[in-house]
A and B are shown apart, each in its own frame.
Chain A
Amino acid sequence: MPDFIRVANISEIPDPGRKLVEVDDRLVVVIHTAGHFYAVDDVCTHDGGPLGEGQLQGFTIACPRHGAKFDVRDGRALTMPATKATVTHDVKVVGDDVLLRLCG
Chain B
Amino acid sequence: MATNVLTDSHDGIGEINKYDFRTESKYVFKARKGLDPQIVSQISEMKGEPDWMRDFRLRSLEIFNSKPMPRWGGKIAIDFQDIYYYLKPANKQGKTWDEVPDEIKKTFDRLGIPEAEKKFLAGVKAQFESEVIYGSLQEDLGRQGVIFTDTDTALREHPDLLREYFSTIIPPADNKFAALNSAVWSGGSFIYVPKGVKIEFPLQAYFRINAENMGQFERTLIIVDEGAEVHYVEGCTAPMYITESLHSAVVEIIVKKHARCRYTTIQNWANNIYNLVTKRAVAYEGALMEWIDGNLGRRLTMKYPAVYMMEPGARGEILSIAFSSAGQHQDAGAKVVHCAPHTSSRIISKSISKNGGRSSYRGLVKIESGAKKSKSSVVCDALILDSASRSDTYPYIEIDEQDVTVGHEASVSRIGEEQLFYLTSRGLSGAEASTMIVNGFIEPLIKELPMEYAVEMNRLIELQMEGSVG
Contacts and interface: CB of A to CB of B under 8 A. Distances in A.
B369 A80 contact: no
Contacts, number: 30
A83 B63 contact: no
A80 B368 contact: no
B374 to A, nearest CB: 13
Contact of B63 (A67, A79, A81, A84): A67
Given A66-B174, A80-B174, 11 more contacts: A66-B173, A67-B63, A67-B171, A67-B173, A67-B174, A80-B280, A80-B308, A83-B308, A84-B368, A84-B369, A84-B370
B174 A83 contact: no
Interface string A49-67: 0000000000000100011
12 contacts: A45-B368, A66-B173, A67-B172, A80-B168, A80-B170, A80-B174, A80-B280, A80-B308, A81-B171, A81-B174, A83-B368, A84-B368
A83 B337 contact: yes
Interface string B276-287: 000010000000
Is the contact region of chain B dominated by helix, strand, or loop, or is it mixed?
loop
Interface of A: 45, 62, 66-67, 79-81, 83-84
Contacts of B173: 62, 66-67
A-B complex: 4 closest residue pairs judged by Cβ atoms: A67-B173, A83-B339, A84-B368, A67-B171
B73 to A, nearest CB: 16
A59 B280 CA distance: 27
Nearest to A79: B171
Interface in B210-232: none
A45 B173 CA distance: 16
B337 A79 contact: no
Contacts of A67: 63, 171-174
A80 B339 contact: no
A66 B170 CA distance: 10
Interface string B229-243: 000000000000000
Given A66-B174, A67-B174, A84 B339 contact: yes
Nearest to B339: A83
A80 B169 contact: yes
Contacts of A80: 168-171, 174, 280, 308
A62 B59 CA distance: 15
A66 B175 contact: yes
A84 B280 CA distance: 17
A4 B303 CA distance: 48
A84 B169 CA distance: 15
Nearest to B179: A67
